[in-house]
Amino acid sequence: MKQLLKKYFGYDEFRPLQEEVIEHVLLGKDCFVLMPTGGGKSLCYQLPALKFDGLTLVVSPLIALMKDQVDALKTNGISAEYINSSLLPAEIQQIQEKVIAGKVKILYIAPERLASLDFKNFLKKVNVKLIAIDEAHCISQWGHDFRPEYRNLKFFKSEFPKIPIIALTATATAKVREDIVRQLLLDNSRSFISSFNRENLEMIVTRKRKAFDKLLGLLQKHKNESAIIYCFSRKDTEKIAMYLQLEGFKALPYHAGLNSETRKKNQELFIKDEALIIVATIAFGMGIDKPNVRLVVHYTFPKTIEGYYQEIGRAGRDGLPSECVLFYSYGDIRKHEFFIDQMKDAVEQEKSREKLNQIIKYCETIICRRKYVLGYFGEEYSFPSSDGKELDKKSCEACDICLNPNLLFDAAEISQKIISCVIRTGNRFGRNYIADVLLGKSSQQIIDNQHNNLSVFGIVSDFNKDEINHITKSLIAYEFLQVSSGKYPIVSVTEKGILFLKQKEALKLPKMHEDLEGQEKSVSRRKIQYDFDLFEKLREFRKQIANKNNVPPFMIFSDVSLQEMARYFPADKNSFAKIEGVGIRKLENFSEVFLAVINNYIKENNIQSVEILNRVQNRNVKKNNSFAVPDRYIRTKKMISQKLSISEIADKQGFKYGTIVAHIKKLISNGEDIDIDYLKPPQERLEKIKTAFEKCGDEKLKPVFEYLKGEYSYDEIRLGKLFYK
Ligand code: ADP
Ligand code: ZN
């Protein structure tokens, strides 16, 4: 499978869970796959499709995406087609014939096809080996995107009970998950649920002050990269797009009020890297699959955490570091509240209010944003160790809270004052009132309540009202205080708050961030190092090639591939083949022209050939040094320091034995300081394995296994190889 992965897709490694899912699918069993956007779901059925001697049928509701997916497969040399309402009957006929003749490996269809008797009859003439249901949540009424056409899919199990089904989605609660499995009549299916953490996304919340200047700063930082800016209203998108154009940025608006032609055109310009910035309402994003969006800005914060996570999910699908910045202001809370107040349905209104409170809490939180969001979705997030030295570092290294620990201040005293004031005034007032009492404001209401006689009246002089409000919100996030929902939220103390008062604990809270300073370094630190000028040249060149081939640039090569080219300077076809994303078809079609650009650059800049050689040879080593080390390696490293056995480590991470051995190999070649002596097999066995490898060569394990007459397991052989090498 690894060979197929490199051959057709150009990748060396599977992403988490991909390998497990694929193995399961190849056994001919049903399964359900839940992975975040960008997790790499498509590969879970595209790779098995290459192994099966028949057709893989893919159902997808997104007609606009089908062509892209099929084009992408074709550029990788995989024969794929699609059938949907955008095609003429004659074209459909042609494709069907091609499929019946066995000339197509993967066929994408829209769900409504299955309503047609003709189509069903066609299917019966085809040797279907696997059915993949993309966006599987669409089948459930409990989901957020129910599509009645998806109900047609029941037909599969009733008509083709023997054909395995793989259902995939990025959004499903437990309830929807069960519903999908039930509705599709999946048989003894297994669920694969991956973490929703997107480690390459930096999550930042900042105060919305001098917002447009901040935005310009961000776009400057991401110059030449794709960005999406989400706004509150259609008018805002047009206004901001125009202002950005005046500043010299190629920015286009996108919202549901534009006519479909303009929408289509703007989207296409964005996908083709002709316009790098889209200023959109939430309507933008569903139909696009651009992997190299590097910046997502919420100019107005979104209405729900679900929406927020989906929108930032559109950044960095290719796994490269990308930045997500949310502008937060009290003014925008009121904008949202205003709309909620207009809602007619009381139940819906209450729900929306609750959702809004949750995103406000997220903005106000003082714990790691990542931990908070994942916790919201029911996932426990544990911090990675970054350098292997401080194993239990309490930082995700990619959110504003974790990146700015020194933005905290000693808040014990002011917090005690606020909490006391809430208690003294009887747990019956809102934030503003509490602040007014603390500041000693003699408003009519305060005098009527005789709160000007309390000991807390006017007790605060070193904070202003905004600041007190901010701290109060932090105390709510910390659950020392709680707030009721509704139009006039009332703040009251919690048990935790009372305990805090009694015990006089220390407490640090974040200052209000005013700007994004200090966050600049983080993103660039995590990027791989490459020759920036060459990258630019390659990117320009990619655009030309893409236009010639009439596909989006990312389909020719991803940014990851170009960055690797600009790092390792492959000088010939052999080294070019090692670049990530270069499979056989792309090697054939594009290596020559890209190599010409690279070699030209090498000549122009007098880069020494020795250096190039080293770079290519050291690719794997360097890659690990420079890429952000994936979580899984760090977890393996940590467990090795705890002296766990390889099987235990494998079990804990849900990987295979061999994968863990591969991790260890990488960690060692990466120069990581790990002690694996305790894993060493007994000396005489090690000698036997070594002899076997010397006799049989170390390319393949099977001859070695056979040479040893089955007395040594594959796992032991793998491990032995690691040691004698
Ligand atoms: P999803 O459907 O889960 O949102 P995709 O299948 O579109 O994700 O994959 C997202 C991106 O990741 C694509 O650009 C894809 O080519 C890339 N990708 C998938 N699997 C791998 C892998 N094993 N190694 C490197 N890149 C991968
Ligand atoms: Zn964090």
Question: Which atom of ligand 1 is least distant from the CA of 289?
Answer: 7
- Residues enclosing ligand 1, CB less than 6 A? 11, 13-15, 18, 35, 37-43, 289, 291, 317-318
Strand order in the sheet with 201-207: 201-207, 322-328, 293-298, 226-230, 277-280, 251-254
Question: Which atom of ligand 1 is least distant from the CA of 319?
Answer: 12
Do the strands 31-34 and 293-298 form a parallel or antiparallel pair, or are they unpaired? unpaired
Tell which one of 15, 33, 192 to mutate to probe ligand 1, the residue whose CB is within 8 A of the most ligand atoms: 15
Q: Mean pLDDT, to the nearest integer, of 598-609?
A: 80
Predicted local distance difference test score (pLDDT) of residue 519: 46
- 619 pLDDT more than 70: no
Question: Which atom of ligand 1 is least distant from the CA of 5?
Answer: 23
Q: Which ranges in 40-153 belong to alpha helices (H)?
A: 43-51, 63-75, 89-100, 117-124
360 alpha carbon – ligand 2 mean position (Å)? 17
Domain boundaries, the chain: 2-193, 201-403, 408-510, 532-622, 631-724
The percent of residues above 90 in pLDDT, for the chain, comes to 54
Tell which one of 4, 11, 580 to mutate to probe ligand 1, the residue whose CB is within 8 A of the most ligand atoms: 11
The closest alpha carbon to 277, from 259, 294, 255, belongs to 294
Angle subtended at Cα 89 by Cα 88 and Cα 92, rounded to the nearest 5 degrees: 90
199 alpha carbon – ligand 1 mean position (Å)? 14
Tokens representing 464 are 């202003």
587 alpha carbon – ligand 2 mean position (Å)? 40
519 alpha carbon – ligand 2 mean position (Å)? 12
The dihedral built from the CA positions of residue 712, 713, 718 and 719, taken in this order, carries a sign that is negative
Lowest mean pLDDT among 229-238, 338-347, 507-516: 507-516
Tell which one of 5, 198, 317, 564 to mutate to probe ligand 1, the residue whose CB is within 8 A of the most ligand atoms: 317
Q: Please return the burial class of 301, using the count of CB atoms within 10 Å of its CB with bins 0-12, 13-18 and 19+.
A: buried
- Which ligand has the shortest distance to the CA of 313? 1
In CATH, the number for domain 631-724 is 1.10.10.1390
Which residue's alpha carbon is at the smallest distance from atom 15 of ligand 1? 40
- 462 pLDDT more than 90: no
- 475 pLDDT more than 80: yes
Question: Which atom of ligand 1 is least distant from the CA of 580?
Answer: 25
Query: Hey, is 350 helix, strand or coil?
Result: helix
pLDDT tens digits, one per residue of 82-134: 999 999 999 999 999 999 999 999 999 999 998 899 999 999 999 999 999 99
pLDDT tens digits, one per residue of 628-683: 345 677 778 878 888 888 888 888 777 788 888 888 887 777 667 788 888 888 88
Predicted local distance difference test score (pLDDT) of residue 80: 98
Q: Mean pLDDT, to the nearest integer, of 521-542?
A: 73
The reported pTM is: 0.72
Rounded-to-integer distance, Cα 636 and Cα 191, Å: 24
Class level of CATH domain 201-403: alpha beta
Same fold, 408-510 and 631-724: yes
- At the second CATH level, the architecture of 408-510 is Orthogonal Bundle (1.10)
Inter-residue long-range contacts of 492-497, CB under 8 Å, 24+ positions, other chains counted: 492/422, 492/427, 492/428, 493/419, 493/422, 493/423, 493/427, 497/419, 497/422
The phi-psi region of residue 285 (left if phi > 0; otherwise alpha if psi is between -120 and 50; otherwise beta) is left
Angle subtended at Cα 273 by Cα 267 and Cα 277, rounded to the nearest 5 degrees: 65
Tokens representing 562 are 């170009």
- Which ligand has the shortest distance to the CA of 394? 2
Which residue's alpha carbon is at the smallest distance from atom 13 of ligand 1? 318
E-strand stretches of 553-627 = none
Lowest mean pLDDT among 36-50, 179-193, 579-593: 179-193
60 alpha carbon – ligand 2 mean position (Å)? 35
Predicted local distance difference test score (pLDDT) of residue 643: 85
How many C-beta neighbours within 10 Å does residue 213 have?
Answer: 10
End-to-end CA distance of the chain: 25
Q: Mean pLDDT, to the nearest integer, of 360-370?
A: 88
**How confident is residue 608, by pLDDT bands cut at 50, 70 and 90?**
low
Question: Which atom of ligand 1 is least distant from the CA of 37?
Answer: 4
- 613 pLDDT more than 70: no
Which residue's alpha carbon is at the smallest distance from atom 2 of ligand 1? 41
Most confidently modeled of 383-392, 555-564, 710-719? 555-564
403 alpha carbon – ligand 2 mean position (Å)? 7
Q: Which residue has the tokens 């370094």?
A: 521
Amino acid at 201: L
Q: Mean pLDDT, to the nearest integer, of 4-20?
A: 93
The percent of residues above 70 in pLDDT, for the chain, comes to 91
Q: Which ranges in 107-173 belong to alpha helices (H)?
A: 117-124, 154-159
- 189 pLDDT more than 90: no
- The larger pLDDT score, comparing residue 603 to residue 97, is at 97
Predicted local distance difference test score (pLDDT) of residue 609: 53
The phi-psi region of residue 483 (left if phi > 0; otherwise alpha if psi is between -120 and 50; otherwise beta) is beta
Amino acid at 529: Q
Predicted local distance difference test score (pLDDT) of residue 624: 34
DSSP string of 58-91, one letter each residue:
EE-S-HHHHHHHHHHHHHTT--EEEESTTS-HHH
Predicted local distance difference test score (pLDDT) of residue 626: 33
How many C-beta neighbours within 10 Å does residue 696 have?
Answer: 17
Rounded-to-integer distance, Cα 407 and Cα 580, Å: 39
- Which ligand has the shortest distance to the CA of 383? 2
**How confident is residue 528, by pLDDT bands cut at 50, 70 and 90?**
low
pLDDT tens digits, one per residue of 530-539: 788 899 999 9
- 556 pLDDT more than 90: yes
Predicted local distance difference test score (pLDDT) of residue 330: 83
The closest alpha carbon to 559, from 265, 321, 227, 279, belongs to 321
On average, the pLDDT of the chain sits at 87
Predicted local distance difference test score (pLDDT) of residue 286: 67
Q: Mean pLDDT, to the nearest integer, of 153-177?
A: 90
pLDDT tens digits, one per residue of 218-248: 999 998 899 999 999 999 999 999 999 999 9
Question: Which atom of ligand 1 is least distant from the CA of 36?
Answer: 3
Rounded-to-integer distance, Cα 277 and Cα 229, Å: 7
**How confident is residue 618, by pLDDT bands cut at 50, 70 and 90?**
very low
Tell which one of 21, 59, 194, 318 to mutate to probe ligand 1, the residue whose CB is within 8 A of the most ligand atoms: 318
Do the strands 481-483 and 491-493 form a parallel or antiparallel pair, or are they unpaired? antiparallel
- 623 pLDDT more than 90: no
In CATH, the number for domain 532-622 is 1.10.150.80
Lowest mean pLDDT among 55-64, 426-435, 713-722: 713-722
Rounded-to-integer distance, Cα 10 and Cα 263, Å: 33
Q: Mean pLDDT, to the nearest integer, of 377-402?
A: 72
Assign 3-class secondary structure to 223-269: CCCEEEEECCCHHHHHHHHHHHHHCCCCEEEECCCCCHHHHHHHHHH
Tell which one of 9, 193, 562 to mutate to probe ligand 1, the residue whose CB is within 8 A of the most ligand atoms: 9
399 alpha carbon – ligand 2 mean position (Å)? 4
Tokens representing 452 are 């000007």
CATH superfamily ID and name for 2-193:
P-loop containing nucleotide triphosphate hydrolases (3.40.50.300)
DSSP state of 528: P
Q: Mean pLDDT, to the nearest integer, of 162-169?
A: 95
Answer for the pair 551, 75: CB distance below 8 angstroms, yes or no.
Answer: yes
The closest alpha carbon to 495, from 388, 573, 419, 385, belongs to 419
